[in-house]
């Protein structure tokens, strides 16, 4: 898909959710399969879904930063909060340390876009 999109003058990136970070029966992660089997695509990293999937985003940024072309910026509510918002929070009021993550993403990724999102 990435190669076809590139030849047509487009970029193509995968947007993740939490299930890509839930281990399969063999212990592997779907996100690893996606990125390894499609080397020509970028990654639109949704950090909050990475965290909700049980993964630490920092090693993923370190390993795949050059493929991260955009980042979804949203926040996860603190335990017991945001129940009427499906556990989401306004950015900066939740559990994700966005100040540090933005610094790491600027240094280690190819992200051109940081997209604010409220699920």
Element (H, E) at 89: strand 88-89
Q: How confident is the model at residue 119 (pLDDT cuts 50, 70, 90)?
A: confident
Beta bridge partners of 73: 116
Tell me the pLDDT tens digit for each residue of 95-115: 999 999 999 999 999 999 999
94 domain residue, yes or no:
yes
Question: Considering its fold, how many domains does the chain have in total?
Answer: 1
Which pLDDT does position 3 carry in this prediction? 81
The parent domain of residue 73 ranges over 56-104
Q: Is residue 34 part of a domain?
A: no
The answer to the question of residue 109 being in a domain is no
CA atoms within 13 A on the CB side of 88: 13
Establish if 60 belongs to a structural domain.
yes
Distances (CA, A) of 56 to 33, 36, 77: 18, 19, 17
Which residues pair with residue 13 across a beta bridge? Answer: 42
The per-residue pLDDT for range 9-48, each reduced to its tens digit, is: 898 999 999 999 999 999 999 999 999 999 999 999 999 9
pTM of the entire predicted model: 0.92
Helices (H), 45-115: 47-52, 57-64, 98-108
Q: What is the dihedral of CA 60, 1, 5, 72, to 10 degrees?
A: -30
Could you tell me if residue 75 is inside a domain? yes
Q: Is residue 23 part of a domain?
A: no
On whether residue 68 sits in a domain, the answer given is yes
Is 79 inside a domain boundary?
Answer: yes
């Amino acid at each position: 898909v990435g190669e076809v999109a590139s030849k047509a003058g487009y970029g193509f990136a995968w947007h993740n959710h939490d299930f890509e970070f839930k281990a399969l029966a063999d212990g592997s992660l779907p996100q690893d399969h996606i990125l390894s089997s499609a080397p020509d695509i970028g990654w639109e990293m949704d950090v909050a879904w990475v965290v909700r999937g049980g993964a630490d985003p920092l090693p993923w940024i370190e390993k795949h930063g050059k493929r991260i072309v955009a980042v979804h910026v949203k926040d996860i509510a603190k335990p017991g909060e945001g129940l009427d918002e499906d556990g989401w929070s306004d950015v900066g009021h939740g559990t994700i340390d966005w100040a540090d993550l933005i610094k790491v993403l600027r240094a280690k990724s190819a992200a051109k876009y940081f997209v604010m999102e409220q699920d």
